[in-house]
Each structure stands twice: as C-alpha cells, then as structure tokens.
Structure 1
Amino acid sequence: MTSTTIEKLQWRYATKKFDPSKTLTEEKLNVLKEAFNLTATSFGLQPLKLVVVSNSEIKEQLMPITYNQPQVRDASHVLILCIEKSINEEFIIDHFKRVEGLRKTPRTILEPFEKNLIDSFTEKDSSEIKDWMVNQLYLTLGALLTVCAVEKIDACPMEGFEPKKYDALLGLDKQGLESVIVLPVGYRDESDFFINLKKVRRGVDELTIEFK
C-alpha cells in the first residue's frame, strides 16, 4: 500500500527518547491545538481541555509523578488531556448559545434539543458521565496521534502517571478539571532503540470483517 497517510502512520511510534534540543515551532503547536478543537465529540459538547506545558522547570517537576519517565522532561511540549469534573445544565446551555450564535439557528429549533440533552444528563449518575467524558477524550487522543504522524511530530501517549498529583501541581483541580492522558510531543532522538523496530499488529485481514 503506497498511500502517503499509511506511510506516515508506519513512521510513527510511541517515542521513548526525545531529543531535548529540538522544539516544535509555534505553527506546529497551533496545528495540534486546532486539531484538538476540531475533533469530533458526542453532541459536540467538548467536555475537555488541553493543557500545554513547555516550561522546563515544570517538566522536571512532572517527572517524579510520571514514574520518572524521561519523555516528559525531554519532549518539546507536554500535552495533558483533561476532562471536566462535571457537566451541568449551564455547560449544556453555553453549548447551545454557541450554536445559536455561529449558525443563527432559531431558539425555537434549539430549545427541544437543549432540554432533551439537559434531561438526559440529569438522569445519569456522575460515574456514567465521567465514563462518557473519558470516551470523548480518547477520540481526541486518536485524532491527535494521527495528526502528529501527518505532521511528522513524535508523540508518546502515557497513562503511567499520577493524575491527582498532576492536578494539584498544575492547579487543574481548582479549575474543575481532571487529567486523564499525558502526551509528550517533539522530535525523536535518533539513538532511540525503538525507532527501527517493526510494528507488531494483528493485521488487516484479522481485524477486518466485511459484508459485501
């Protein structure tokens, strides 16, 4: 398969060793921010926030609460994907205000959808809502990893960190946020052992079921 997109996805890997001397340009960073903003989420609610850390002192402080994984210290930027602590009626109303403002959709059309969504979330318990938000975040992570591959930006998605300590250090808890995924981004160190290893995948034939 000669698709350029597939070639770039073959190129990407979970980078274990970043070159600390190489940094993303503002233009590249903005591409990642825009990709985060444009990723699909259920109902378009975007119950997420993206935290971007480039400060070297903060990155050093993140290392011990990321089980001393050097990626957070050496990467150009550390992206932290967060969910809202809760989704309330005001959050949903704000979403529909944006719809009304941008699309000029009449309130008479929007109100039934708005009410239905508020009622739906009111009926869910907090754990259901959190699970739903985490699912939306993983949609965003997948999109970001693909964009990184297309833009030739190295990345390493990480669940191995201490979320509560991240939240306390960065003041995320005070902003009503919970960190879920850490995504260091930057450029690989050419001495990284994992660069030339072949991808181990089950394969298209095994993963695909077709009805023709």
Structure 2
Amino acid sequence: MKDSIKNLEWRYAVKKFDSEKILSNDKIERLKKAFNLTATSYGLQPIRMVVVQNKELQEKLVASSYGQQQVSQASHVLIICIERVVDKEFIVKYFDRVKNIRNTSDSIITPFEDALVSSFSKKDIKEVKDWATNQAYLALGNLLTVCAFEEIDSCPMEGFSPEAYDELLELEQYGLSSALVLPVGYRAQDDMFADMKKVRRPLKDSIIYIS
C-alpha cells in the first residue's frame, strides 16, 4: 500500500524533465478524471483543462513561459483554464445535469438555481474571474496530490503569459482563458533539485490545534 505522506515528500517542483520519457495513456486518463472530480464552489465547475502533447507546440509555449524549459521537456503540458462567461445559461445547464443524474425534483432545485442566477447576475467580470481562478487553484492542488500518489513528476507554474497562451492555443473559440500551467512527466536524472530536502515550517509552527 502506498504511503501518501512519503509520496508527498517525494514530490517536488521539477526543474528538468526527461524529454524521452512519456506518460502512459492510463496515467493521463487518471489525471483527467482527477481534474474532473475536483471540488468546486457550488459544484459549477467553471474550469476546463487543455492537454498538450505536441513537442513543436510545447517549444512555442516556452517563450510565453518566461523561458522555462520544463514546458518543452515535459511529456504533457496541462493548462487549467477558466470559463470567460458564467451566466444564467451556464448555471441552468449545471442544474439540468443535477436533475438528469440525481433525478432531483424541481421543487428542491429551483430555489437554489434561482438564488445562484441572481447572485451571479450581480457580479462584475472581475469578480467572476477571481472566483473562477480560485477554483483553478483547487484543481491544481488536487492534481499535484494525485501526481505525487501516481509518481508522476510535475511543476506548477504561474509564471507565464495567459494572453499569449490564449492566442497560441486559440482558447477564445472555447470561451476559455488560461489560468495555471502544469507540465507533467518524469524527472531527469541530472536534475539537481530532485534530492534537495524540503524546506517547511515545523508542524508546531504550521498547525494550530483547538480542542
């Protein structure tokens, strides 16, 4: 049985991937499912994930990633994106899924649905973007944990140009904006950072226990 803590200790932000090693389809499927199972506010899932496995395209993304070579070296690059529009139509579709999957009655769903439609109608573009971005971070954290458990190496990245990624990947046609980037694959044998000890606060300084 795997030890979750040992796997989290094994994990680090990879600085150099082995570009010759490719993740199996099974591993990618697990990451896709983990992403889709991520908890999100209200269950609305205002996020989608783009999976890139194309070395030529990955090379092009390096310039928009402040020169970080992990993007080109990785087996795959996962781009966590947010929906550009979360409106009444988007919310209604979610509640339609709830009804279809759970057979929940309208008498139970309608009040909650109406409340969410009303609430989001009062939010400006920045509020919705900030809210959706928070959900993207939830997905990133979930993916990092699953990567560690599956012994998939990864490198979470905020350092990139979302506008450039959006243009290069033509995300506007999907109604999406890129929020976070996660190259995944296998660490290179000569990545000096792989064996460095983690630097964390002692538990007594990190955890407050109230009984």
Q: TM-score scaled by structure 1?
A: 0.97
Determine if the alignment matches structure 1 residue 8 to structure 2 residue 45. Answer: no
Q: Where does residue 76 of structure 1 map in the other structure? A: 75
Q: Distance in 2 between matches of 1:180 and 1:145?
A: 16
Deviations 1:6-61 (A, max 9, x none): 00000000000000010100000000000000010010000001000001111111
SS of equivalent residue, structure 2 residue 48: strand
Q: 5 Å matches for 1:17-36?
A: 17-36=16-35
Residue 132 of structure 1 aligns with an amino acid whose one-letter code is W
Deviations 1:136-194 (A, max 9, x none): 11011000000000000000001111110110011002221110111000000010010
Q: Where does residue 41 of structure 2 map in the other structure? A: 42
Q: Distance in 2 between matches of 1:13 and 1:203?
A: 18
> Can you give the 5+ residue segments of structure 2 that lack an aligned partner in the other structure?
none
Q: Distance in 1 between matches of 2:127 and 2:41?
A: 14
Q: Where does residue 97 of structure 1 map in the other structure? A: 96
Q: Where does residue 160 of structure 1 map in the other structure? A: 159
Q: Distance in 2 between matches of 1:180 and 1:124?
A: 20
Corresponding pairs, count: 210
Q: Distance in 1 between matches of 2:130 and 2:60?
A: 29
Residue 19 of structure 2 aligns with an amino acid whose one-letter code is P
Q: Point out the more displaced range, 96-105 or 65-74.
A: 65-74
Distance apart, 1:124 and its partner CA? 1.4
SS of equivalent residue, structure 1 residue 194: helix
> Can you give the 5+ residue segments of structure 1 that lack an aligned partner in the other structure?
none
Q: Where does residue 187 of structure 1 map in the other structure? A: 186
SS of equivalent residue, structure 1 residue 24: coil
SS of equivalent residue, structure 1 residue 200: coil
Q: Distance in 2 between matches of 1:103 and 1:174?
A: 31
Q: Distance in 1 between matches of 2:161 and 2:141?
A: 22
Residue 168 of structure 1 aligns with an amino acid whose one-letter code is E
After TM superposition, the runs of 4+ consecutive aligned structure 1 residues lying more than 2 A away are: none
* Identity, % of aligned positions: 54
Q: TM-score scaled by structure 2?
A: 0.98
Q: Distance in 1 between matches of 2:93 and 2:203?
A: 42
Q: Distance in 1 between matches of 2:86 and 2:126?
A: 12
Q: Distance in 1 between matches of 2:186 and 2:124?
A: 42
Residue 11 of structure 1 aligns with an amino acid whose one-letter code is W
Q: Point out the more displaced range, 43-52 or 198-207.
A: 198-207
